Amino acid sequence: MNDVQRAALNPFESIRSCAFTGAAGTGKSQRAQMVADYLDAEYIIDDGLVIRRAEIVCGKSAKTERNQIRAIRRAMFEYEEHLASVRRFFENAAPCSVMVIATSDDMARRIIRKLGFNPPDRIMHIEDVATPEEIARARKERKRKGQHVIPVSHVLVRKNFAGKLVGRLKVLWRSKSPYDGEKTIVRPPFSFYGDVHIEPEAIEQLASHIASKVPQVASGPVSRVSSTAADSLSIDIEMKIKPGPKNIPQIAETVRRSAARSVGYFSGLNVYNVNVSVTGVEF
């Protein structure tokens, strides 16, 4: 089977992906089109939206959500209807190239896998295109004003945005792209009501509860959570098991998968890895 036949059976085989990453509020969306042009990406995926030539062509923005947890889940394509609509769009758009904007390399790879694209052939970081002073200034503005940038025009954002439109932003650096013009500054609905903070103990309790529900896991599994990168968690679970039809590796793998999937789903946080240690057998 040649490349053309494979692409006909699976259009996603012909989609090239790349990524642009950086911590939240560092100015990624302001520079999105410039970086997409440099990486030769036809489409941009930013916070759940699919953008082409500064126009929204598909998707729904995470910045329309009423709280930060839903916003993270929207950006990660956790909602099936949203995921299905974007996948249908790219089935028809293939072959093409796509740049995913994310807060970490791991988050970008997870979005790309979720959408079914080929692994990214290149990942650029905000530090590659912005000075430390520019990044610090962008972070200060985000923290002080709670304002976000959507890399499309004011008119297009107005049609499908439920928050407050603050104003327009013109890029101050040179760009060869005729589409890298007006950006829209917004205040998402979730920024009106304060911040959401999840204590590590809450995640640990959630992970322990999920592990305890797996068959053959003895009562009282213990979990510890640590931060590994921007918006990413590492979870360590220690547990005892009971004899039964499954062996130790099978039980541990079930716990690992269940914890990674469920913690990410319920918290909206990016789970980088889950490590499971079996400390004993309870007869």
Does one domain contain both 125 and 173?
yes
pLDDT, residue 252, reads 94
Residue ending a domain, choose from 167, 190, 213? 190
Does one domain contain both 229 and 140?
no
pLDDT, residue 83, reads 95
Residue 279, SS3 per DSSP: strand
Does one domain contain both 153 and 232?
no
Burial class (CB in 10 A: 0-12, 13-18, 19+), 238: middle
Residue 182 within any structural domain of the chain: yes
Q: Is residue 118 within 8 Å of residue 100, measured between CB atoms?
A: no
Residue 164 within any structural domain of the chain: yes
The boundaries of the domain holding residue 266 are 200-281
Does one domain contain both 127 and 205?
no
**pLDDT confidence of 117, banded at 50, 70, 90?**
very high
pLDDT digits (tens, 9 = 90+) for 17-49: 999 999 888 888 888 888 999 999 999 999 899
Residue ending a domain, choose from 134, 159, 190? 190
Does one domain contain both 178 and 46?
yes
**pLDDT confidence of 155, banded at 50, 70, 90?**
very low
Does one domain contain both 55 and 181?
yes
**42 HSE (CA, 13 A, CB side):** 9
In this prediction, residues 142-153 reach a mean pLDDT of: 59
Q: What percent of the chain has pLDDT over 90?
A: 45
Residue 212 within any structural domain of the chain: yes
Residue 142 within any structural domain of the chain: yes
Task: Provide the CATH number for the domain around residue 227.
Answer: 3.30.70.1350
At residue 73, φ and ψ (nearest 5 deg) are -65, -35
Residue 195 within any structural domain of the chain: no
Tally of domains in the chain: 2
**CB-based contacts of 62: which residues, under 8 Å, 6+ apart?**
47, 48, 70, 71, 72, 74, 75, 188
Does one domain contain both 170 and 208?
no
Residue 43 within any structural domain of the chain: yes
Residue 245 within any structural domain of the chain: yes
Does one domain contain both 148 and 261?
no
Does one domain contain both 133 and 186?
yes
Report the range of poorest mean pLDDT among 27-36, 56-65, 180-189, 230-239. 180-189
Does one domain contain both 135 and 261?
no
pLDDT digits (tens, 9 = 90+) for 157-187: 444 554 444 444 444 444 555 545 555 554 5
Does one domain contain both 185 and 272?
no
Does one domain contain both 212 and 264?
yes
Residue ending a domain, choose from 148, 170, 190? 190
pLDDT digits (tens, 9 = 90+) for 211-222: 999 999 998 899
Residue 47 within any structural domain of the chain: yes
**Residues of 133-152 as b/e, b for ≥16 C-beta within 10 angstroms?**
ebbeebeeebeeebbbbbbb
In the chain, beta strands by DSSP E: 15-21, 43-46, 49-52, 55-59, 96-102, 123-125, 148-150, 164-170, 182-187, 222-229, 232-241, 270-281
Residue 95: asked if its preceding bond is cis (omega within 30°), the reply is: yes
Tell which residue, 85, 124, 93, has the closest CA to residue 108.
124
